[in-house]
Structure 1
Amino acid sequence: MPAPKKEARPSKAGGRARTPAYVKNLRGVKNWKEVSDWLEWRGIEDIECITPDQAGVARGKMMPSSKFTSNTSLALPSAPFMMTISGDYPEDGNGFSYPEDDGDLKLMPDLSTLTAVPWEEDPTAQVICDLVHQDGRAVEFTPRNVLKKVVAAYEKKGLRPVVAPEIEFYLVRKNPDPDYPLTPPVGRSGRPIGGGAGYSIAGVNEFDELIDDIYHFSENQGLEIDTLIHEEGAGQLEINLRHGDPIELADQVFLFKRTIREAALKHDTYATFMAKPIQGQPGSAMHIHQSIVDRKTGKNIFSAPDGSETEAFFNFIGGMQRHVPNALVMFAPYVNSYRRLTQAASAPVNAKWGYDNRTVAFRVPRSDPAGRRVENRIPSSDANPYLALAASLACGLIGMNNGLKPDAPVLTTANADEIDLPRGLLEAVDLFEGDKELRTMLGESFAATYAAIKRAEFETFMEVISPWEREYLLLNV
């Protein structure tokens, strides 16, 4: 996009007015007056009003910036938030019913998320919106509102959750025909990328220009990347984000996914967040680091004044152990997600915890007392970040509310033992529907809608005949 205008606008007195500092903000303003100035200073022509659906896909409307600032009422039907990933709709039942009128929901822009869209040729901005009913009530079943509901439950107890997501993804060759397997891309060396390049700087350098675009696009949106590494898979990268507020970090993951896909397309490559995109290669995770601070003191409640672990720390882990298996459908939302969760792999299939143990579901990394945190290693990168954060924090809060005790920490390899998690999507939906405390904390309307969508997606998947079936069943049975 063009460089921002540097000249100051003349004042009414004929002098030169000083440019307000807020118009230079890369991300967010406070009010509609600042919006107008921010857009004008950048010469923004169009604005995308977006919100995440149940899959984390950006839904919304695009309009001229002049219309956006002219008190225009923005609305969307409820349908996009009750739709499966393939564009179908679930059947009514089990607490879910499609609204007969399919009336409009209001899009309410969160002005703190206003930022540029740096990959567009014309000067374009974007803003993330919440959804409310016509009477102003929050729409309970939309993902951003689900996360807000969980964060509010912490606030009522004088607490503030702090999170730091890590997102893995693959770069793959363009593949317009879904019948063919995905293959690793060709890097600057001119050779297809191989596996086993974990933490390899040379592996990162294979995609220097693409990664430069990721950084540039991110900087122009005010998105902070903490670190970027090459993971074990062929063409698999990981981005770590700085810790902060759950809603803000979910917004960042939502925008990062768009950003990374756009940067990859610019280089004639796909970026995919599928949990298991390539057979024989590692899956992609979205690990979530979590700590809780006291809102008054700002102190980490997982650590006592003497630096030891608190009861709240153990209760949080106890809640994770008890309820995360029931919330797995929000961490592993598709049939493909369960291909990542296999024994003897780095993706855990247990509900155990341990200190600096990467074979357990809930790892406590080495840190000083102020940085004590719990890493949830179960979520896949295909998970909606709003829902994954909401579910993980909800499980921990239930544990603290009920004083749940964890098992003893595991000191050895845990992932080759028994499987503690559901092995497939339908089993995960059943467990989710059976956990009343979890459903209540997330919202019954959301729980019924989400479960109905997942059952419908499974039925759609069952209509597809796989290559495995043609290879082994066609002539043998």
Structure 2
Amino acid sequence: MNQHANEHARPERAIKTAEDAMRLVEASRLTHIKVGMSDIDGVLRGKYLRKDKFLGALKAGFGFCNVVLGWDLDDQMYDNTRYTGWHTAYPDAMVRIVPESCRRLPLEPGDGEDMLFFLAEFTGDAEPVCPRRLLHRVLKRAADMGFDAFAALEYEFFMFEETPHSIREKNYRNLKTWTPGNFGYSVLRSTVEGDFYRQLLDMCEQMDMAIEGLHTETGPGVLEAAIAVDNAADAADKAMLFKTFTKALAQKNQLMATFMAKWSHEYPGQSGHIHLSLRDARTGESVFHDASRPHNMSVRQGAFMAGVQRYLPEFMAMYAQTVNSYSRLVPGYWAPLDATWGVENRTTALRLIPGSEKSQRIEVRIGSADANPYIALAAALGAGLYGIEQALEPDTIVTGNAYTQTFPDHLKLPCTLWESAQRLRQSQAAQTLFGAAFVEHFAATREWEDRQFRRHVTDWELARYFEII
């Protein structure tokens, strides 16, 4: 289906301006419109706005309590952040509705008309710490360098035959996975459970976040979905929407999907891989492809790769944002441990994927499924652009199994969230690329997250120490 036909079938996706959005909303029979925005952890927060309120907000923005940027996954307020906290009394921050993000929500049908949904982003004094605005600052850097950035994100997620009530009643133990056994790329599983697959594929098509590939991964009830490539701004929006509404669809089917990095030590973790490429903004030609060089890797792709590689240890907190993220990064579980790169090598942190002028790209494999897509994509793209600016060259290519090899200390990745937060705080590159306000705020939130974990005693500690020590 071409773009024109696509927009005819889904007129909400043809919206480009606030005026376009106003015409659509005014013609709608809906009494309320839904708006959502990313918090620091990548949770989509939002509300319904009455139609007249929404139309006013399209013109002038609206106020939203800045606690959304000042609390954690459990709605607990940070006690260590400068931008917002009890010391500020949590005033409203200004929010801009993003007209071109408009979508229908097939999971919320109404009187012959599905709910309209718009993404939003913080502006004004909140803009420096807003995840979506962070990415768009990096994208402006790319544009100023003459590049258009493209990205595709892919996610692994486990499915359970549970509900939000049952997992709490079970205290998150003895959970029943959607399907049993290791059935990677299983046609059997996808056929038997085809009703849900079809619902997921159809929802993603209707919401303009098409899935390019969907299959079972190795492990009970685990799926992997690759979202089709798009410009980097839209790719991040689609990743945010995909995670949220996949979970919503699962719960509507009396199932649950989790994107946490590692839910059990018995199974591999869940990745959130990022595919990246650059094109010349004037000509549309690939910046990464050069058929005259080994692996078709242009000089600028090599410099981009080198930038991502060099700054990966410093930016690790932006790819692995929770305590649980680091449980995934252990030997032998398809997760890299050093800032390495290779050609078509899935044991390295960065994978060069040689191809045509259209498909030449880099895959950043370090990220986990729990990462905020705006922040993780900003980290990867920003580091790569910085590499081009500095004309960096990547370290020696890795061949074979990277897990069994030893690498120099400068390639070692932080092993804990606390260490990652300190590396980010101290990073001059992060200050330059992301702004001092974001670095300070985000590092503080990761320190908070680590402190919440250290206050608790785990089941592993009880079993290991209670009697014997």
Q: TM-score, normalised by structure 2?
A: 0.90
Q: Does 1:209 align with 2:195?
A: yes
Secondary structure at the aligned position of 2:168 is classed as coil
CA deviation profile, 1:433-465 (whole Å, cap 9, x unmatched): 111112221121111111111111111111221
Give distance in 2, aligned partners of 1:476 and 1:324.
Answer: 40
Secondary structure at the aligned position of 2:107 is classed as coil
Give the superposition deviation at 1:355.
Answer: 0.7
Secondary structure at the aligned position of 1:476 is classed as coil
Give distance in 1, aligned partners of 2:237 and 2:203.
Answer: 15
Give the superposition deviation at 1:121.
Answer: 4.2
Structure with greater proportional helix content: 2
2:72 to 67, 70, 84: 84
- In structure 2, the CA distance between the partners of 1:339 and 1:369, relative to structure 1 (3 Å rule), is same
Instruction: Give the structure 1 partner of residue 380 of structure 2.
Output: 392
Secondary structure at the aligned position of 1:228 is classed as strand
For the aligned residues, what is the CA RMSD? Answer: 2.1
2:355 to 364, 367, 386: 367
User: Which amino acid letter does the alignment assign opposite residue 138 of structure 2?
Assistant: V
Secondary structure at the aligned position of 1:237 is classed as strand
Q: Does 1:408 align with 2:396?
A: yes
Instruction: Give the structure 2 partner of residue 14 of structure 1.
Output: none
Instruction: Give the structure 1 partner of residue 122 of structure 2.
Output: 131
- Is the 1:172–1:182 Cα contact (8 Å) retained in structure 2? no
Give the superposition deviation at 1:252.
Answer: 0.4
- Is the 1:23–1:37 Cα contact (8 Å) retained in structure 2? no
Q: State how 1:187-198 maps to structure 2 within 5 Å.
A: 192-195=179-182, 197-198=183-184
User: Which amino acid letter does the alignment assign opposite residue 289 of structure 2?
Assistant: S
User: Which amino acid letter does the alignment assign opposite residue 301 of structure 1?
Assistant: V
- In structure 2, the CA distance between the partners of 1:276 and 1:249, relative to structure 1 (3 Å rule), is same
Instruction: For structure 1, list consecutive stretches of 5 or more residues without a partner in the other structure.
Output: 1-20, 187-191
- In structure 2, the CA distance between the partners of 1:132 and 1:114, relative to structure 1 (3 Å rule), is same
Secondary structure at the aligned position of 2:403 is classed as coil
- Is the 2:289–2:356 Cα contact (8 Å) retained in structure 1? no
- In structure 2, the CA distance between the partners of 1:28 and 1:415, relative to structure 1 (3 Å rule), is farther
Q: Does 1:476 align with 2:468?
A: yes
- Is the 1:228–1:240 Cα contact (8 Å) retained in structure 2? yes
Instruction: Give the structure 2 partner of residue 106 of structure 1.
Output: 94
1:173 to 161, 169, 194: 161
1:433 to 417, 425, 428: 425
Q: State how 1:1-400 maps to structure 2 within 5 Å.
A: 24-39=10-25, 43-70=29-56, 73-92=61-80, 98=85, 100=88, 102-122=90-110, 123-133=114-124, 139-174=127-162, 175-177=167-169, 179-181=171-173, 183-186=175-178, 192-195=179-182, 197-304=183-290, 306=292, 308-400=296-388
Equivalent pairs counted in the alignment come to 447
Give distance in 1, aligned partners of 2:354 and 2:63.
Answer: 47
- In structure 2, the CA distance between the partners of 1:22 and 1:64, relative to structure 1 (3 Å rule), is farther
- Is the 2:351–2:364 Cα contact (8 Å) retained in structure 1? yes
CA deviation profile, 1:163-196 (whole Å, cap 9, x unmatched): 111111110132124633363434xxxxx4212x
Give distance in 1, aligned partners of 2:430 and 2:374.
Answer: 16
Q: TM-score, normalised by structure 1?
A: 0.88
Give the superposition deviation at 1:277.
Answer: 1.2
Instruction: For structure 2, list consecutive stretches of 5 or more residues without a partner in the other structure.
Output: 1-6
- Is the 1:45–1:64 Cα contact (8 Å) retained in structure 2? yes
Give distance in 2, aligned partners of 1:92 and 1:280.
Answer: 35
